Structure 1
């Protein structure tokens, strides 16, 4: 019994250290968590229905880029861009996918774009780049987020 009471007293004095530990503040925890998050990458890239069945992240991303580039090329094939500007073989299009699954397309012109009527090309692109299939936005930590990327779109000449 004497040993038991001695052990009990020893445990009581040693257990005090567990109650004296300082708990970090909410702001400190938030700052630590925010620093740990990689804001340059998303957990899941935007996707279309055709790419949903792919489970490998990089392949799903490439599928999405391929489908988007193909859809943009098909929509621009029916226009006169290649006839008006035969020297213009590729247009880079900045695609923004918003959290509400809407998209915005902005042509990116090279620095020497004075040779092109950028306003006319921009208006043609905005008129043609509509009615896309539903796009699932990118996901970061379970929340839909805005993403942007630039797709090179190859213009084909009509024959």
Structure 2
């Protein structure tokens, strides 16, 4: 009888995992999958019309950056900036491409001389980025995600 009780107790202790619900097993699988994902990388970069979505990630990034810079340069040509002193600096613009494809400036690092000489520069950059054609958002596992970029913009006046 003792052997039977010992066997039953041992069986109950070892079979707990067998009795786990499907929901808890699914939850564990989802948690393991989420831990294994690289959240700092996307499967597909944001794409403007004319960029090939079947191209490699490197080509997609190049197409996105080149299209962004070309459109930004076209919008910037409409503005005449005048500075009293020569300026030679690099401005770093951090922006997001939202899940909806909208572009939003997060931060702009510029020095005091630039702010003093061209106080309207920040607003012009923000307005120019907002007026760009809306790209398709970045994708992670086929789901649109927000992505962050840093654009170095070299300014030289003379």
Task: Return the TM-score normalized by structure 1.
Answer: 0.71
Higher helix share: 1
Number of corresponding residues: 136
Larger gyration radius, structure 1 or structure 2? 1
**Given the superposition, is the C-alpha separation of residues 155 and 51 from structure 1 closer, same or farther in structure 2, using an over 3 Å criterion?**
farther
Structure 1 residue ranges without an equivalent (≥5): 1-19
Contact in 2 for aligned 1:69/1:151 (Cα 8 Å): no
Measure how far apart 1:107 and its partner are: 5.3
Measure how far apart 1:52 and its partner are: 2.1
Q: Distance in 2 between matches of 1:77 and 1:54?
A: 32
Q: Distance in 2 between matches of 1:148 and 1:117?
A: 24
Aligned residue number for residue 61 of structure 1 = 61
Q: Aligned runs of 1:21-36 on 2, under 5 Å?
A: 22=18, 25-36=25-36
Q: Distance in 2 between matches of 1:129 and 1:45?
A: 17
* Structure with more contact order per residue of length (Cα contacts < 8 Å, sep ≥ 6): 1
Aligned residue number for residue 48 of structure 1 = 48
Matched, 1:129 2:119: no
Structure 2 residue ranges without an equivalent (≥5): 1-14
Measure how far apart 1:146 and its partner are: 0.2
Contact in 2 for aligned 1:106/1:122 (Cα 8 Å): no
